Amino acid sequence: MPTEVTQLIKSHRSIRQYKDQPIAEEVLQEILDCAQWAPSSHHVQAYSVIVVRSSEVKEKLSALAGNQRWVKECPVFLVFCADYYRLQQVCEMHGQTLAADEVESLLVGAVDTALAAENVLLAARSHGLGGVMIGGIRNNPREVANVLGLPTLTVPLMGMCLGYPAQDVQQKPRLPKRAVIHEERYQTERIAGALEEYEQTTSEYYSERTNGQRTDGWTKQMADYLNKPRRAHVTPFIKEQGMRLT
Amino acid sequence: MPTEVTQLIKSHRSIRQYKDQPIAEEVLQEILDCAQWAPSSHHVQAYSVIVVRSSEVKEKLSALAGNQRWVKECPVFLVFCADYYRLQQVCEMHGQTLAADEVESLLVGAVDTALAAENVLLAARSHGLGGVMIGGIRNNPREVANVLGLPTLTVPLMGMCLGYPAQDVQQKPRLPKRAVIHEERYQTERIAGALEEYEQTTSEYYSERTNGQRTDGWTKQMADYLNKPRRAHVTPFIKEQGMRLT
């Protein structure tokens, strides 16, 4: 007995092609309001959202995110940032200095930001929009920060393209539930079998989607992706932004 | 023109008192399924959820999370973990070594985990449940990892109490929208005024809620909270779990 909400959640797919149809201001603002009703750790509200509609800015961000054309083609592009700049201002208002800038605080900011982002994506989808989250915004974070005028202590974490869907996309199969959801304790003994099963499922999925061009399943893809450091520039960027990450 | 989904999102409040009413297995499983339909960066699916129903385990976690009694009183307690353990297994399956264990990868895991968690909370609320996220699970992460048998490369990020609400709670006012949602560029010039306004709003809110016992607004509370490092043990814990955080 799914609810309207669980049905929406379970019908998720990333949408990268959009109709030439603008998003009404009233709809957009209602969606953005939803960001702020996510829970926040200790109510710190350590995130900000930049709403980008200018073609010029979208073009720049599209290039910086690895030439993802949907970034420039979507009518509205959002950039979600972990944000301690505002909290530093708050400390200064009271003659204090922000000292909470360790990995813990970065995690709090990342979690706050993602909770808000998921609210926004679901709110948008409930209005008939589609979207895709863009981790590529961290490919060139310094340049993104320059384009968006991001102050110290802010970290762009993800982008989000929004628009009315102009494509029909298959859902990507997820890991077998028993590999992700555990009862009482983490069941390490379940993992190997679940991964074998998933390799099979995803190999068939990719093979079908690419007419046999791509037959590697998820485990092979992941092994090839994660056997080298990813975006090693992110750590120095965050430190340059003023977080010590101690 | 809100949708059913945006209405649900915008009526969020944290629920810490629950009826003595169990959550039907079918409902719980439907809610947990929703975790897996969140987007995931590069489809890495770098999170796991531990479902805790045992009173003994809940008692232990309640104590470890700073004696939050709702952790032991809720019928179902979930622990959301960033998880690269499974991805390390994946690398080993293909004779490779996981090298992606920098701050970037931790961020990917934190974001994946939070997106899944927000799906779960909304799914639960759509079924009439209430809940609260528990950052206190990071108060004693080593002990939490021991209780839950968490393997290397997993990091417990947040807990979530779920149960049928037995309390009526006021909504906590959010930051003025102009301090959080920016157009085209981060508007630093808006922050100071918005914070002054919010200090006023929240001072009235807390004063009313505590019959005048607590009159500090949000900015004062945050300045007092963030002028010292928070949970400094989290960084060494994550490194002990095998992430280099380079």
pLDDT in tens, A125-141: 999 999 999 999 999 99
* Residue B132 · residue A42 · CB < 8 Å: no
Mean pLDDT throughout B65-93? 98
Shortest Cα–Cα distance, B29 to chain A (Å): 10
Which of residues A104, A136, A170 is at a domain's end? Answer: A170
> Of A76, A80, A98, A200, which Cα lies nearest the Cα of B230?
A98
In a domain, A61, yes or no: yes
Mean pLDDT throughout B153-158? 98
In a domain, B236, yes or no: no
In a domain, A85, yes or no: yes
Shortest Cα–Cα distance, A161 to chain B (Å): 13
* Closest partner CB to B110 (pick from A107, A218, A245): A107
The Cα-based distances of B130 to A72, B16, B134, B166 in angstroms read 39, 8, 13, 9
Domain identity same for A143 and A189 = no
* Whether A238 and B103 lie within 8 Å, measured CB to CB: yes
* Whether B90 and A179 lie within 8 Å, measured CB to CB: no
* Whether B133 and A41 lie within 8 Å, measured CB to CB: yes
- Going by the DSSP 8-state scheme, the letter that residue A102 receives in this structure is S
In this structure, how many other beta carbons lie within 10 angstroms of the beta carbon of residue A168? 8
Mean pLDDT throughout A85-105? 96
CA distance A131 to A138: 18
CA-nearest residue to A49 within chain B is: B181
pLDDT in tens, B80-119: 999 999 999 999 999 999 998 899 999 999 999 999 999 9
Mean pLDDT throughout A44-57? 98
Contacts of B177 in chain A (CB under 8 A): 32-33, 36
Confidence of residue B145 (pLDDT cuts 50, 70, 90): very high
Domain identity same for A16 and A48 = yes
Q: Which of B88, B199, B230 to mutate to test the interface with A (most CBs of A within 10 A)?
A: B230
The interface predicted TM-score (ipTM) is 0.98
* pLDDT at res. B174: 98
Domain identity same for A72 and A151 = yes
pTM of the model: 0.98
Contacts of A96 in chain B (CB under 8 A): 223-224, 226-227
The residue written with tokens 């409040």 in the block is: B13
* Whether B99 and A228 lie within 8 Å, measured CB to CB: yes
* Whether A93 and B223 lie within 8 Å, measured CB to CB: yes
* Closest partner CB to A48 (pick from B32, B182, B228): B182
In a domain, B217, yes or no: yes
The residue written with tokens 């099979």 in the block is: A200
In a domain, A232, yes or no: no
* Whether B118 and A119 lie within 8 Å, measured CB to CB: yes
In a domain, A233, yes or no: no
CA-nearest residue to A195 within chain B is: B90
Give me the CATH number covering residue A149. Answer: 3.40.109.10
Domain identity same for A49 and A118 = yes
CA distance B52 to B57: 7
* pLDDT at res. B19: 98
Q: Burial level of B222, CB count in 10 A (0-12/13-18/19+)?
A: buried
* pLDDT at res. B214: 87
Dihedral of the alpha carbons of B50, B131, A133, B106, in degrees to the nearest 10: -40
> Of A196, A190, A182, A45, which Cα lies nearest the Cα of B35?
A182
Contacts of A132 in chain B (CB under 8 A): 39
Domain identity same for A118 and A181 = no
Shortest Cα–Cα distance, A193 to chain B (Å): 11
pLDDT in tens, B185-222: 999 999 999 999 999 999 999 999 899 998 899 999 99
pLDDT in tens, A219-236: 999 999 999 999 999 999
Dihedral of the alpha carbons of B114, A183, B70, A105, in degrees to the nearest 10: -30
* pLDDT at res. A1: 85
* Whether A232 and B104 lie within 8 Å, measured CB to CB: yes
Three-state secondary-structure class, residue A83: strand
Token pair for residue B13? 């409040």
Domain identity same for A88 and A104 = yes
Domain identity same for A69 and A46 = yes
Domain identity same for A75 and A108 = yes
Q: Is the pLDDT confidence value at A184 over 90?
A: yes
* Closest partner CB to B43 (pick from A3, A172, A235): A172
Confidence of residue A214 (pLDDT cuts 50, 70, 90): confident
Domain identity same for A16 and A129 = yes
- Count chain A–chain B contacts defined by CB atoms under 8 A: 383
CA distance B58 to B54: 6
* Closest partner CB to B115 (pick from A114, A148, A219): A114
In a domain, A92, yes or no: yes
In a domain, A182, yes or no: yes
Contacts of A224 in chain B (CB under 8 A): 94, 96
- Going by the DSSP 8-state scheme, the letter that residue A135 receives in this structure is G
Q: Which of B5, B144, B190 to mutate to test the interface with A (most CBs of A within 10 A)?
A: B5
Mean pLDDT throughout A158-174? 97
Domain identity same for A100 and A201 = no
Q: Which of A37, A97, A150 to mutate to test the interface with B (most CBs of B within 10 A)?
A: A37
* Whether B44 and A122 lie within 8 Å, measured CB to CB: no
CA-nearest residue to B2 within chain A is: A30
Q: Which domain holds residue B197?
A: 177-225
pLDDT in tens, A60-89: 999 999 999 999 999 999 999 999 999 999
* Whether B151 and A186 lie within 8 Å, measured CB to CB: yes
Domain identity same for B164 and B181 = no
Domain identity same for A110 and A142 = yes
Q: Between B178 and B1, where is the model more confident? A: B178
In this structure, how many other beta carbons lie within 10 angstroms of the beta carbon of residue B172? 17
* Whether B3 and A172 lie within 8 Å, measured CB to CB: no
Report the number of distinct structural domains present in chain A. Answer: 2
* Closest partner CB to B98 (pick from A101, A219, A226): A226
Contacts of A243 in chain B (CB under 8 A): none
